Amino acid sequence: MYKASREPSAILALKKTLEDLLPDLLSKPSDEGILGFYTFESVLEEEDAVKAVTAVKAINPTMPTLDTALVIDLHAALRRTGLGGRLPYQSFVSFLRWGQDRAAAGWAPDKLDSVVKGIIHDIEISNEVQSITTTRTASKLMDGPTNLVPVLSGIRLCLDEIVKYFDAQAKELREQHGGINNHASIDDVMIKIGNCVDRTTLKVLMEEVFAIHAEQLATANSNGVKYVRKIMDLIDKALAISS
């Protein structure tokens, strides 16, 4: 963006995008029980529900112990209503606490679905208000913009590792299959293979086919690497502006 426009606003746009994405990404849990609850492609098993309850207890020991059966029912309601994707990680505990306060295990699906819809609605409003309050408070407390240098540096490091991996893969592919001799096209090689009667020549031509495919794969990967490098350049410019 910046390279095309040369406008500092492009860097600010990138910064704003990262700020919008970071809150929930940074709050993504590592606990197996919580991550298991966020698997909405399948039914929550009792064992996984117990892990989720244990995780909540570890986060907030003073919170009343959750009903495992209700946790399973709440998860099922999220699956039925398709609202699982709208439950932020940081609102996981709040969701289950409100669920325990407003519902009970064994309720009819439609009744429980209605409760879950209300909880998600309340969570979204609560998070919206909290976001506005936090942003305004932070703007008063800080002299400058939010420091995203560590985040951008970490992203750049990961991208650099990706580039190194694909560069090494391309080099390995080319070394494994050797260089490519001059042919009009892959069809040209296939015609030569079809007309070949000599075993040694056939082997050489087959290696040519493998070399051509390897080069095609390496070239395709290199196009992706070019885009990654462009992103790295943008991050470098953002870091330069922030310094």
Q: How far apart are the first and last CA of the chain?
A: 20
Single out the residue in 106, 141, 176 at which a domain terminates: 141
Single out the residue in 141, 173, 192 at which a domain terminates: 141
Range of the domain at 79: 31-141
- 213 with 158, same domain: the answer is yes
Residue with the two structure tokens 């703007």: 139
Per the model's pLDDT, the better-predicted residue between 113 and 162 turns out to be: 113
Q: Which residues contact 135 (CB under 8 A, 6 or more apart)?
A: none
| pLDDT tens sequence across 179-227 | 555 554 566 667 777 777 677 777 776 777 677 666 666 676 677 778 7
pLDDT of residue 115: 95
- 123 with 193, same domain: the answer is no
Average pLDDT over every residue of 15-39: 68
- Judge whether 218 and 170 are in contact, CB under 8 Å: yes
Count Cα neighbours of 189 within 13 Å in the Cβ-side half-sphere.
19
Asked whether residue 123 is domain-assigned, the answer is: yes
